[in-house]
Structure 1
Amino acid sequence: MDINADQPIFVISVAADLADMHPQTLRQYDRLGLVSPSRAPGKSRRYSQRDVSMLREVQRLSQEGVSLEGIKRILELENQVSALQHRVEELTDELERRRDPMDSRIFAAGAAVGDVVSLNRGQRPRARSQAVVIWRPRALGR
């Protein structure tokens, strides 16, 4: 059975033991916003395995001489990078889904200023007007 790394299951004393820290240090990190555990009913802190890993990372950076403010900034930037990587994956998946040539659209400029008409492949503008059809050939190999 796999344990969900985000499941808040450890009380502060157990998390402190797992991270090899004093519970007061965990409280300080929570106050500073370095590692923010979940709260159980009654306001007691509950740490996940991911929180414990984060505590170990904070401890490692601290031992290397990085200030707590520096550690906080590093963690924020790592979270931003992770979120951006996730977004790139989503956009890449969306792009792959849209690459089907049967789903591609052709657009024509309508008679009115700023009017754009979407056409299916092989379809022509309805009204015989001064519409300009824009066609872009697909790149070879797609």
Structure 2
Amino acid sequence: MTNLLRLLTTLSLVLGMVSPSLANSDTTRTEKQFQGDSVPNKCPRQKRKQGDFIYLLCQVKGKPVYLEIREQAGVKTSPEDEGGTLDVAIFEYKNGQLIRVVADDFQRYGFRNNKLVAAWHLDKTITNLSLPKYRAEEKRLLTESRKILRLYGIKQK
């Protein structure tokens, strides 16, 4: 009887410790589907400034790999210094198509064939992406991506 009780106690402890990591690994596994092209160790980033934003593009063989958007928040002390910039978002691409957006407000979005198919806030998966709110966000992100890539002479459909 005591052996059975010990076994049940041990099992409940193990399950209690393992189940959160299983839930988290499911989110991680889902997000891995939305990883962009591999980035070279020293990707030559092209820099453009427009208004208060700094755009940094990593491009390989004429296709975008990732695009970093930063907001200038401080005063520059030298031309090389980006003086207190804040990351706003990172757009990741696969074969030249937008695949993932990571925003500074803990929002992450996954795209397939220019359609929003997954979204996360912190570690919580958002399930109902057919809401008008997410359709508007999809349109806004795709439009923003195209507009910024045009600054670099890249046209997307």
TM-score, normalising length from structure 1? 0.27
Greater strand content: 2
Greater helix content: 1
TM-score, normalising length from structure 2? 0.25
In terms of Rg, which structure is larger? 1
